[in-house]
Amino acid sequence: MKLAIASDHAGYEEKEKIKASLEKLGVDYTDMGTNSTASVDYPDYARKVGEAVAAGEFDLGMLICGSGTGMAISANKVPGIRAAVAWNEEIARLAKEHNNVNVLSLAARYTSPEENERIVQAWLNASFDDGRHAGRVAKIGQLEEDAKR
């Protein structure tokens, strides 16, 4: 599994902590920026990760900003991306199991580093539960197709 990770300035320090956790878990990741706490525009980094995941260069993506919301909204504008903000382990697990979320967005300002580590593990360990959810996820793709027309 290959993962793309990025943050804005508010999420930079948390991203560095998460990278250490990913290394412990043996996850192959690529850091797509930012590389400091200097102010940047989060949509630029959400786009980088979203496009790389949608193109199949990476299996999954992870984004970190102050609340997680701006990054998720931005990533969801990329066709093929299903991004969700997770603020606890259960939300992360359900996002993967029910929605086949391929980009996880985390809140650096509102979730502790310890909780973010547990959220990441829960999301990475979960699997999409095809069954009754497959048709619903397919409808998300259909919404994207309809929007192109």
User: Tokens 């603020």 identify what position?
Assistant: 87
Domains of the chain (ranges; CATH) run 2-148 (3.40.1400.10)
How far apart, in whole angstroms, are the C-alpha atoms of residue 15 and residue 9?
10
* Percentage with pLDDT > 70 across the chain: 100
> What pTM was estimated for this model as a whole?
0.96
Among residues 5, 64, 65, 71, which one is catalytic? 65
Give yes or no: 98 in active site. Answer: yes
Q: Give yes or no for a contact between 45 and 103, defined as CB atoms under 8 angstroms apart.
A: no
Q: Which one is catalytic: 2, 17, 19, 98? A: 98
Is 19 a known active-site residue? no
Amino acid (one-letter) located at 4: A
In tens, the pLDDT along 119-144 reads 999 999 999 998 889 899 989 888 88
Helix (H, G, I), strand (E, B) or coil at 72: helix
Per-residue pLDDT tens digits for 42-65: 999 999 999 999 999 999 999 999
Report how far residue 120's alpha carbon sits from residue 1's, in angstroms, rounded to the nearest whole number.
14
